[in-house]
Amino acid sequence: MKRPPIAVAGRVAAAGRVSRSAISFAGRVYLDAVLRAGGEPLTLSPRELRHDEAVQLLKGFKALVLMGGADVDPHLYGQQRQPHVYGVNAEQDQFEMALVHAAIELKLPTLAVCRGIQLVNVALGGTLIQHIGDIPGVVQHAPGKFPAGQDYALHDVEITPRTKLSKAVGATKVNVASFHHQGIDVVGKGLKVVARSSDGLVEGLEHTGRDQWLIGVQWHPEDTAATDPHQQNLYDALISVAR
């Protein structure tokens, strides 16, 4: 069976030892999860996109994946930047927001991970908690030396039954890999909360449209998908609806 082409919104890394120029890339664990699910991941290079350009670009794909990454600019949701905010990139924000609006217009299946769920929420008029570490009683959502290092925190997430997310994952309680310091605050238009951690923080959103498969998760399913079937199920579900 032919693999459906899956757009993965890439990002740019600075020049270093491997390359004398900046590199446009996507994380290998995301690509591997899509490949295991039967899709063909193709990385989209970040650049300024008008809405019509984003629509034309995504017409060549069967689904969209938004990866984790640095923080969304707080100015996009009407707030001043607080000290813990890091890695803001205006080009990346604009690029991904254009893709989100185009994907919704095209009803393109979309999986938004970590930064991705936050970007989708902001694109649809929602707001973010700029630093969850300021909230008393939160569980550990990131390793101790965030944002440095490759490790992640593990915690449980409760998923609302009979939702797109619960059907995709195949469970209503999962143990997840977590690596973030921000969270969902006011939920964007057309979205609903479908998962939370034990401290009440939002862990999953999905679009309310019956024919709109758009799921966002605050955790990183790709990090444990090779060994945890529930996490791989999320990518499998994306490819299933993309065919």
Q: Note the pLDDT of residue 65.
A: 99
pTM above 0.75, yes or no: yes
Q: For residue 137, what is the domain's CATH number?
A: 3.40.50.880
- Number of domains composing the chain: 1
pLDDT at 19: 65
Measured between alpha carbons, how far is 27 from 164 in angstroms, rounded to an integer?
A: 25
Alpha-carbon gap, residue 222 to 42, rounded angstroms: 16
- Residue 168, classed as helix, strand or coil, is helix
H or E stretch covering 207: strand 202-207
CA-nearest of 127, 120, 126, 192 to 160 is: 192
Residues making up the chain, counted from first to last: 243
What is the DSSP-derived secondary structure letter of residue 145?
T
Cα separation, 193 vs 183, whole angstroms: 12
- Tell me what pLDDT residue 152 has: 82
Catalytic member of 181, 203, 222, 230: 222
Determine the pLDDT at residue 144: 63
**Which is catalytic among the residues 141, 207, 220, 230?**
220
Instruction: Report, as ranges of residue numbers, the positions in the chain whose pLDDT lies below 70.
Output: 14-20, 23, 143-150
105 is catalytic: no
Q: What is the pLDDT of residues 36-83, one digit of tens each?
A: 999 999 999 999 999 999 999 999 999 999 999 999 999 999 999 999
CB within 8 Å of 68: residues ≥ 6 apart: 27, 113, 114, 115, 116, 179, 180, 220
Residue 148, C-beta contacts closer than 8 angstroms, at least 6 positions apart: none
Buried b (16+ CB within 10 A) or exposed e, 79-99: eeeeeebeeebeebbbbbbbb
pLDDT in tens, 173-187: 999 999 899 999 999
CA distance 85 to 242: 35
Whether 53 sits among the annotated catalytic residues: the reply is no
Confidence at residue 18, expressed as pLDDT on a 0 to 100 scale = 65
Q: Compute the C-alpha angle 193/197/199, nearest 5°.
A: 110
pLDDT score at 36: 99
Q: Is 75 in the active site?
A: no
Give CA–CA dist 218/184, Å, rounded.
Answer: 9
The range of the structural domain enclosing residue 16 comes to: 5-242
**Active-site pick, 96, 114, 141, 206:** 114
